[in-house]
Structures are given as structure tokens and as C-alpha cells.
Structure 1
């Protein structure tokens, strides 16, 4: 008999034993999770997501503030087109630097202290803007708030993923983006009634509250275990899971998942599939998220609606932000049921269609009179029943923008940040997350700063068709390369990347 045939019963027995152990572990995990009390976990998550709320205010601040600063009487503070471009985009440079610093700090002092520390540049940055006497003070304030935003965008997803359990990790992780868009909408609404200085005062309140609340929240159990602080990890689990569960069992599960958990990342580790595969996926997710044009659109939302001849552009931006908040909340509710990949694909298709339609709108409203067929179509499309052409297609601009924001909120807004917090192994989590944040904000700076140049080079229509093409690329990348992480523990996801497939 062939030796391979002799080994088949043995292999089958081994596989059966492995499957039995997996089933037993799953059963133990379900019994454990049935006893979990989530109240204090939700409280810790709320304290942490005040950070994303703060950088949502940072992102949204420029849209109502720029028109104010362009009309201001003081020549030392008045922004021209170039200064306005820098004011809107320089925050992303600070955020990119924050990603680099955050990747180092989060492993040195922990997740909790990193969050508390980043509230300081938030508050200090807005204080400088409030007291600004020159354009350079405005820039400095924006850089500092951007720095805090970069650290926050790295630390908060890690904090939530390392404190949450598998049943709610997707929902709680999606709250990061939900709070970002809530902050953006808050800045838009406040900007309707407040000038740029008082708006900066309002924007400084969430980080101050975060600093106070985080004093009473625990460090993440996984970070404490990497520092050989097992007793403190069990205390943290008691706070996060309630007194009814076996905290020692979860500690053992985390400890047993990887013998390398406490080791440092070495250069040769980059050759391991569990390191380089999630690293490449995470970096590309962040790059492709920005190439949809989302930050350019949100930074200049009010300007875009003015270009589209929408009569009340500030109200339109509030409506769009409200759509984003609503759909991001929906994504958070269904994240752990629908899965990450499905929502990413639906999101990408929706954004590709909406940016394509937005490009058509701009093509119609800027039609070349020398082209008779386009000119006739332009007249037909823009002629209202009363005979007025100005603003007759504003509904199409608002509808396309709303559809884009809805699509982004369902998938490509929250999920790249959620997946980033899930797929990296413990030993490379700080380094890889820092690289992702640097990629995200670096790409955001390029797109935001060069948005007006893109409009001049490709025209409004061509720019939005370019964004549409990248949305199509996002769908293909998701379908072929992004793993599904729904319902898996962080340790199971790490094991997935170790497999040869």
C-alpha cells in the first residue's frame, strides 16, 4: 500500500481533533459572551470616540470658516484663493505627521495615555485660531489640530478593537466614522449662526470632555498583556465585561493565541505573510479611500454648491452632512450582520455612479456653445418650466452629492478604519497603523491641496469622472483582496494571514 494512503486515516484523525477543538473553543466563547455586560464597554467607547468627534469638527471647520475669512475686513487675516487652499489642506499635513508620531507613541505609552495626550494639541490649536492676529497663526492652529487628528485617527480604532469583543466590534468600530461625520455636521450647523472665532470655541469643547472622561477609563487588556501586566489586564476586563464572566478565560485566550505577542517587530518580520499581507491591504485601503475625493468634497462642499449655482449653499452642505450621519449610523447597526466586503462593494458602486452623474451635471452646465448637440442638450436640461435656466439643475448637484456621501458612509468611510484596527498582528499594530494613517492623510493633503488645480486641468466634469474611475478600482480591489473579518477575533484574523492561501 502507498505510504500516502496509509497516512490518510491519521490526517483525518488530526483534522477531526482540530475541528473538535475549534468547535469546543467556539462553544466556550459563546457561553462567555452570553454573560458579558456591555454597559461600561459602551461608556469607554463613548469616551474614546469624542476624539473622532473632535477631528470631525476640525474637518468641517474649514467649510463655513473659509467664506468668513475671505470676506473679513482685517487684511492680516483675509484669505485669498491660495491662502484658502492652504487653510483647508494644511490640516492634513499635521494629521500625516500625527500618524507617524502616533504609531510610535501608541506602543510606548499605551492607548489610553495617547488619547489623553492628543487632546492637548486639539485645545491648543483651536485656542491659537481664536486668538489669531495673522494668517500664519491660522495655519499653525490648523496644523496643531491636524496633528491631534492624526494621532486620534490611529489610536481610537485600536482602543476600540482591543477593548470590544467579537459580537459588537464591528458596530463599535463603525462609531469612529459616525462621530467624525457628526462632528463635520456639527461644524456646518454651528457655522450657520456663528462666526469663525466662536465656531473655533465650540470646536474645542469635545477634546476637553474627552480628556476628563478618559481619566476614568481602563487601558486595553491586550496592551497590558504585552507589557506583562496581567493583573491589570484582568481588572480592565472586569470593568469592560462585567463581574459575571470568567475574566481569566479571556486572558488565557489572548495569551495563548500567539507566542510572539510580547516581542518587538524586527526587519526580517516584514517577510512573514501575517505581517506584509495585512500591511499592503491596509495601506491600499487608505490610499483608495482618499482617491474617491471625499476630503476634497467635504472641505470644499460649500464652494462646490456655489459652483453648481445652488442658491443656499450653506444649507445644502448641512443637508449632505445629515445624510452622511444617518447612513453611517445605519452602517454601524448592520456592520456585524452584513459583513465588511459586501458593504465596501455596495459603497464603491454607489460612489462610482454618483460621481459619474456629478461629472455629467458639470458637463451640461458648462457646455461649449460651439458644440451644437451638447448645447441643445444643455438648453433642454437646464430650461425650467418658467423659462429660467439659472440653478434649474441644482437638484441634480445636491442629489449626486447626497448619493456619494450616502455610499461613502455605508462602506468606504467607516470600514477602512475598522479593518485597519482588525487585521494587524499585535507586534506590528503600532507601526502598520502609523503607516496607514500617514498614507491616508498624505493622500488627503495631495487631493485637497490640488483639488482646484485638478478642476483647472480636467475641468469640473473631468475631475469627478476621475474620482468615479477610482471608485470602480475600489470595488475590484475589495472583491479580490480584502478579507472578511466579520465575527472573527483579532487572533483568528492574524491566523488567517498565516495560512499559505
Structure 2
């Protein structure tokens, strides 16, 4: 058969179209020959980056209590400094998102990922060698910068490598490795002091740089640079020796030719650009307004206020719950779909944050120094032989468990996954930078003002505020977020343009 005619026939084939034998589509026939071993290997190398910024996110929780009690006055943190130590990492991450958006378009996904390992290692080195509080801040800003770049580059790298059958699973591994990093640093914090903890945290980014040396650049980026031969070689590495990669390469190339290669601000008038950009932006807003980063940054403090004696152990339990259910989300992502998991996740978080607010409200009433309540407290203590809040401790623990479970199932992994799927290739760097800047900027605002919110609105009011935003994100999901399960990136782009997919 003539090669050009065959190429055109393959390009025109839709996923649901049957082949000449009437059995399976061309797309299914192609995917049946794909071997995923090297794709999984490349994904593992890249997600060492999210594991690294999981260590960064979780580091403050075990380190802050120790640094507030340290004997060296040059390093001892007061309450305000501790708040900055926990939240300033998000400032670096916001700038990292801008830097990452520029880097992925200029030097590619692979080199961006390799270079971002340097500020990870340098940042933790500065923390290890810290002689004053400002060095601690600098180390946190550097690790935050690397986290911002990583949170943009890795989802793009994975989405552009993976095919539609496993893209949801592999994309969800980004958040899975983040929470593995958080749990790892919580667990290590039980046994190591803050300097040794920083040393351990520098190991994953070092491994990432080494492993990424042996991984390919993404085929889509190579084709956008006119490097077809290198793109076919990358696809052959990722899809295995039996897959006819020329077919997939032709489809990607055709989509790139249709879009054009460069982004201009006038492209924002295109519904194929501004619609996914608005959705990506709102996903990041709602993710942060659930309060997740405030809760994770100050996990031990929250449990201390909830009167758990083993608050550091409780944080490890929280991390374990998050790992388990993020893994569950990854396994079912390509079957259940993105939209239904976001709805379930939002409902679960709304219920749990409401219940957490009720817990703190009841605690505040128990601690009101009225005569009748004092008599009641004495009566309870004399009968139960324990603190009056002990009977309510289960509510705080259950609320935290349900919140983390809900977040891990949907609003943890899916915003990053959808961000990596919905943007056209030419705008992917710019639009992803806007989303990452929004995410980390709001993370800074929420974490920095969390203690102030607890004071101004009370603990109960703060959690009820988070509950209201969780309800809003469910309504937004139902109304505006499209389902991307099982679609190629080119088909998703065509959905927003209002045309049929390639």
C-alpha cells in the first residue's frame, strides 16, 4: 500500500472507527502493540521530582517544633518566624512556576527537569549549613523554587509521553509521589533531627538528575522543534519495538502543524485557548481554597490544638492515609474518570471540614469558664477519670481522615493531571505557568494567614470557610469541567475548539 495514503488513512481514523476487518479501531490496534516498560521507567525517573517537593512540603511540620525549642538563639524561631519558615517555600514555588513556564518552551521538558534538581540540593545544603534564621529562609526559598519548576514540568513531561490508556494512572503518580515524600519526611522526623532530615531530603533530587540523563525528551516537544527523527526514536523507546510509531508520530505532527508553533497574546481570544486556561486557573484556586496546604504545613500544630498527645505520630498517620488513597485514585483514574472523582472528593472534604469545625466549636464551649460548665466538667472527670475532651477526640481524628481521603481521591492529583491534558501545545508553557503561579501564590496566602484566620474567625469558623469553598468546587466541577478519560491530547484540544478530534 502507498505509504502516503496509509498515513492519511491512519490520521483520519477516529478512536471509535472500525478497521477493515470490522474488529477493532486503528487506535486500539496500535495500542495493542505498545509495551509500557520503558514508559513506566521514564515516569519513575521524572516523579522523583514530585517526591522531592513532597519532602519540601512536609519538612516544616517536624522541623518547626524542634527549631522553636533549639538552644542556639541564632536559629531559634519565634511564632512569626516559624510561620514564615512554613510558608515562604510557596513564594519560591510561585517564582519557580514562572521560571518553569519559560524553561519548558526554551530548553525542553527533560533539561528543565534535570536543572531543577540543582536548587533542591543547594537549598537543603543551605539549611544544613545554616548559621542564622535568614539562611533557613534562603534554603526554603531555593527548595520552593525547585518545587515550583517541578510541579509544572513533571505533569507536562508525563502527559506528553503517555498514551491515553495509562495517562490518568501515570499522571496521578505525580501526586502519589508528593504524598510519599510528605509521609517519608514525617516518618523520618520521628527519628532524625532537622539537619539530618535535610540531608535525607536531598537524596531524591540527586537521584532524579542521574536517572533523567538516560530518559528521552517528549516526542511532542521534539516535533514542535522540527526533530522528527529524534521524536520517532523517543516514541520507539517509550512504546517498544513492536509498535508502528510512525502512525502516532504522524498524528502528533499533524496536530502541531494545524496549531502553529508559537504562542501570541492574541491567541487568548481563541476559545481553544481561553476556555482550558480558565478551567485550569479555577482548578488551582479551588484546590488551594480547600485548605489542604495549611492543614499539611501545620498538621502537628492542628493535632496539638485538638489535644492529641502524640501529634507527630498523628501526622504520620495522616501521611499514610494520603498515600493509600492517592494510590487508589491512580489505579481507578482511567476507569472512573476525572469528573466523578472530583465530585466525590469535594463532597467528602465539605463534610469533613464541617465536622472539624463542629469539633472545635464544641471544644470552645467545653473550655468556657462558666460555673455550670465547670461543675459539669468536674462531674465528667469524676465519672470517666479523664479529660472532658477525650470523648470528642474521635471526631477530630475522623474528620482529618475523611478530609485527607477525599483530597487524595480527587482534588489532590486531578487538577495537576487535567492541567497537563487540556492546554494546546503552543500555549502549554504559558498556561501551565499561570496555573502554577496561581496555585503556589494561593498556597502562600492560605498558609501564611492560617494562624491569623484561626484567631480572627476562630478554629471552627476557619474550617467552615474551607467547607464552603469545597461546596463551590463541587458545583464548578459539575458545570464546567470536561471528562478527559480515554482521549488523546489532540482530541481534548479539539473538544475546546469545537471541532472533531484528529
TM-score, shorter chain, exceeding 0.5 = yes
The aligned counterpart of 1:440 is 439
Change (3 A) 1:164 1:373: farther
Residue from 357, 360, 369 that aligns with 1:359: 357
Change (3 A) 1:119 1:333: same
Q: CA deviation at 1:422?
A: 0.2
Detail structure 1 runs of 4+ shifted over 4 Å in the superposition: 18-22, 370-384
Q: CA deviation at 1:211?
A: 0.3
Q: 1:289 touches 1:416 (CA, 8 Å); kept in 2?
A: yes
Q: 1:350 touches 1:403 (CA, 8 Å); kept in 2?
A: yes
Residue from 153, 160, 173 that aligns with 1:175: 173
Change (3 A) 1:21 1:102: closer
Mapped to 2, the partners of 1:265 and 1:374 lie a distance apart of: 66
Gaps of 5+ in 2: 1-11
Residue from 146, 161, 186 that aligns with 1:188: 186
The aligned counterpart of 2:426 is 427
Change (3 A) 1:260 1:314: same
The aligned counterpart of 1:400 is 399
Mapped to 2, the partners of 1:446 and 1:452 lie a distance apart of: 11
Q: CA deviation at 1:385?
A: 3.5
The aligned counterpart of 1:10 is none
Residue from 323, 326, 330 that aligns with 2:324: 326
Mapped to 1, the partners of 2:25 and 2:233 lie a distance apart of: 24
Counterpart mapping for 1:76-95 below 5 A: 76-95=74-93
Q: Which whole-Å deviations, capped at 9, do the CAs of 1:258-286 have from their partners, x for residues lacking one?
A: 43444211121100000000000000100
SS at match of 1:413: coil
Counterpart mapping for 1:229-244 below 5 A: 229-244=227-242
Gaps of 5+ in 1: 1-17
Mapped to 2, the partners of 1:470 and 1:178 lie a distance apart of: 24
Q: 1:157 touches 1:421 (CA, 8 Å); kept in 2?
A: yes
Q: CA deviation at 1:398?
A: 1.5
The aligned counterpart of 1:15 is none
Change (3 A) 1:466 1:376: farther
Mapped to 2, the partners of 1:383 and 1:436 lie a distance apart of: 55
Counterpart mapping for 1:189-338 below 5 A: 189-338=187-336
Q: 1:364 touches 1:374 (CA, 8 Å); kept in 2?
A: no
Q: 2:152 touches 2:432 (CA, 8 Å); kept in 1?
A: yes
Mapped to 2, the partners of 1:382 and 1:410 lie a distance apart of: 40
Mapped to 1, the partners of 2:499 and 2:373 lie a distance apart of: 54
Change (3 A) 1:198 1:306: same
Mapped to 2, the partners of 1:382 and 1:400 lie a distance apart of: 25
Pair 1:467-2:461 in alignment: no
Mapped to 1, the partners of 2:438 and 2:376 lie a distance apart of: 42
Q: CA deviation at 1:127?
A: 0.2
The aligned counterpart of 1:486 is 485
Q: CA deviation at 1:208?
A: 0.1
SS at match of 2:485: coil
The aligned counterpart of 1:345 is 343
Q: Which whole-Å deviations, capped at 9, do the CAs of 1:281-318 have from their partners, x for residues lacking one?
A: 00010011000000000000000000000010000000
Q: 1:62 touches 1:299 (CA, 8 Å); kept in 2?
A: yes
The aligned counterpart of 2:42 is 44
SS at match of 1:243: coil
**TM-score (structure 1 length as normaliser):** 0.93
Mapped to 2, the partners of 1:126 and 1:231 lie a distance apart of: 40
Aligned length: 484
Q: Which whole-Å deviations, capped at 9, do the CAs of 1:418-439 have from their partners, x for residues lacking one?
A: 0000000001000000000000
Q: CA deviation at 1:369?
A: 3.4
Mapped to 2, the partners of 1:286 and 1:362 lie a distance apart of: 28
The aligned counterpart of 1:12 is none
The aligned counterpart of 2:5 is none
Q: CA deviation at 1:390?
A: 4.6
Q: 2:15 touches 2:28 (CA, 8 Å); kept in 1?
A: no
Mapped to 1, the partners of 2:427 and 2:240 lie a distance apart of: 30
Q: CA deviation at 1:374?
A: 9.4
Mapped to 1, the partners of 2:37 and 2:382 lie a distance apart of: 57
Mapped to 1, the partners of 2:489 and 2:222 lie a distance apart of: 16
Change (3 A) 1:219 1:369: same
Q: Which whole-Å deviations, capped at 9, do the CAs of 1:378-428 have from their partners, x for residues lacking one?
A: 999999843532544222211111110000000000000000000000010
Mapped to 2, the partners of 1:70 and 1:466 lie a distance apart of: 29
Pair 1:27-2:25 in alignment: yes
The aligned counterpart of 2:9 is none
SS at match of 2:76: coil
Q: 1:125 touches 1:144 (CA, 8 Å); kept in 2?
A: yes
Change (3 A) 1:383 1:306: farther
The aligned counterpart of 2:3 is none
